[in-house]
Amino acid sequence: MNEKQSPHVLGKVFCMHELRWKWVSLLAALVLVMAAGCGSDADSGDFEGNQVADGDGGEVDGDGERQPGDESGLDGCEEGEQFNPINGTCQPIEDEGDGDLDEDDEGEEEEEEGPVLGCGAGALHGQACTTDGTRLPAATVTVSGQDCDGNSFELTTQTDRDGVFMIEDIPGGQHNMTVTSGSFSAQRPVDIFEGRTNTDLLDDDDKVCVDGDVSIMVIEGSYDNVPQLLSGMQLDYDTIGIGDSTNLTYFLSDPEAMAEYDIIFFACGSSFSNISDGSGDFDQMMHNIRRFVENGSSIYASDWSSDYIQNTFPEAVDFYTDSPRVGDGQQTIDADVTSPQMQTLLGRNTAELYFNAGGWVVATNASSPSVVHFRGDAEKSNGEVVYGAALLTTFTEPIGGGTVVYTSFHNNDQVDAGTDMHDILNFLIFQL
């Protein structure tokens, strides 16, 4: 080649060099723009077409010329959005939250969660009461239901002298609670919380009172005032009047009429002698009384109504000779409390029992399944003493579970006197 190039060749060389420097300049400018766009989060770029947003809200095009800004955010995205340099789009800003905060999205404190039922054991602490809201001692309380594994369970306890009860180790969950005392009962759903004791049923407004939906017939007598006792307990009842042997005969001769009642009271001085000598079938009437109890119902007889007990349940109570009306009147007996139920009721092992009339019936003993609740030394009208007389006996009929209650004492003057008799007689009503 010649050492000197022709002007045409030199021009080509110069143009190539000039083109090369233009490309170098463009590449350098592009590097500077990209470096400015990635410098910080505040200056992050938003590529839309060939435009890049600067930190002022204005835009820079691919030639380095600034474009007018708008009302969008600093990164060129709408409020609540941010530029994603990976895919070149604006995306919503995610609120990662703060796991340590106890406030909701509006800044309000979250409410503390209540107790959880769970599957672990809890307890129930409550109080049972009679129809008029007074304490119900020696009642049976049962909680039944299913645990978390679907297994059925039933837990039972007795109320104390104040009607208070506690059942522990109950599986957590929603269960059913039943309070029963004689013919009286109440049901209530209960929530058992794992590791906690439910005490809601201790409140006066929430304690569990048995209902008065019990049918009662009173065979009135000359020496008792059973209606006074029942009315004070807010219990309804029907009556057959004193000496009304005709209606009494009809009633005891009709098992279906008797079956309409849960409890029959035979008050002292009722018309037993009239029906035994009357036109009715005496043996059939006594049989009907026994069947009444065998079917699960209850009878209460006091003093001279012992004849009903002797002729229907001779095994329930042993009486002093065939003519047991020998107790001397106007005496107070310091009796021994011989049953757990009465000890629970009174909270002690002795009680004062008052006898207000002479010639009361003396019982001497009772064998299982009868329970003697009080024993005391009964003075006879001739001055002799019957030691350890059975003054109150209950008998549970083995076939149907009905109850027979016999008391040698009455329930009129004793109620007004406010002695132990009041609590005892109230207690007996809710054992029937």
Under the banding of pLDDT at 50, 70 and 90, the label for residue 104 is: very low
> Residue 391 belongs to a domain with what CATH number?
3.40.50.880
The pLDDT value recorded for residue 290 is: 93
Residues 256, 246: Cα–Cα separation, whole Å: 17
Tell me how far apart the alpha carbons of residues 266 and 415 are, in angstroms, rounded to a whole number.
18
User: Is residue 262 pLDDT above 70, yes or no?
Assistant: yes
Higher pLDDT, 334 or 422: 334
Flag whether 25 is in a domain: no
pLDDT of residue 114: 53
Q: Is the pLDDT of residue 186 over 60?
A: yes
- Domain membership of residue 332 (yes or no) is yes
Is the pLDDT at 259 greater than 60, yes or no? yes
278 and 409 share one domain: yes
- Let me know whether 205 and 220 are in one domain: no
Q: What does pLDDT average to over the chain? A: 75
Residues 236 and 352 in one domain: yes
Q: Is the pLDDT of residue 32 over 80?
A: no
> Residue 7 falls within a domain, yes or no?
no
Please check the confidence at residue 341 and state whether its pLDDT lies above 90: no
Q: What is the pLDDT of residue 273?
A: 74
Q: Are residues 145 and 235 in the same domain?
A: no
- Within this chain, do residues 196 and 299 fall inside the same structural domain, yes or no? no
Q: What is the DSSP string of 24-39?
A: HHHHHHHHHHHHHHTS
In the chain, how many domains are there?
Answer: 3
Residue 405's region, left for phi above 0, alpha for psi from -120 to 50, else beta, is: beta
**Distance separating the N- and C-terminal Cα atoms of the chain:** 138
Counting residues of the chain whose pLDDT is more than 90, the rounded percentage is: 17
Least confident range of 55-69, 308-322, 418-432: 55-69
Q: How far is CA 81 from CA 12, 42, 69, 104, 250, in A?
A: 53, 13, 17, 22, 94
Highest mean pLDDT (candidates 104-108, 232-236, 315-319, 424-428): 315-319
Q: Which two tokens stand for residue 304?
A: 């001279």
Domain match, 381 and 242 both: yes
pLDDT over 70 for what percent of the chain? Answer: 72
What integer pLDDT is reported at residue 12 of this predicted model?
40
Position 406 in a domain: yes
Half-sphere exposure of 208 (CA within 13 A, CB side): 30
Q: Which amino acid is at 16?
A: M
What length does the chain have? 432
Per the structure, the complete domain to which residue 344 belongs is given by: 216-429
112 in a structural domain = no
Q: Are strands 350-355 and 360-361 parallel, antiparallel or unpaired?
A: unpaired
- The mean pLDDT value for 114-119 works out to 65
* Closest listed residue to residue 370, CA positions, set 399, 342, 392, 341: 392
Residue 14 phi, psi dihedral angles, 5° rounding: -60, -40
Q: Are residues 309 and 415 in the same domain?
A: yes
Domain shared by 298 and 367, yes or no: yes
Q: Whole-prediction pTM value?
A: 0.67
Rounded Cα distance between 140 and 58, Å, is 84
- Residue 259 included in any domain: yes
- Tell me whether residue 107 is in a domain: no
Q: Are strands 350-355 and 385-396 parallel, antiparallel or unpaired?
A: unpaired
- Within this chain, do residues 203 and 220 fall inside the same structural domain, yes or no? no
Q: What is the pLDDT of residue 41?
A: 44
* Residue 36 predicted with pLDDT over 80: no
Which of 85-94, 102-111, 129-138, 285-294 shows the lowest mean pLDDT across its residues?
Answer: 102-111
Q: For 25-32, what is the mean pLDDT?
A: 45
pLDDT at 87 over 60: yes
Same domain assignment for residues 126 and 168: yes
Look at 419 and 373; give whichever has higher pLDDT.
373
Q: Judge whether residue 427 has pLDDT over 60.
A: yes
In CATH, what number is assigned to the domain containing residue 188?
A: 2.60.40.10
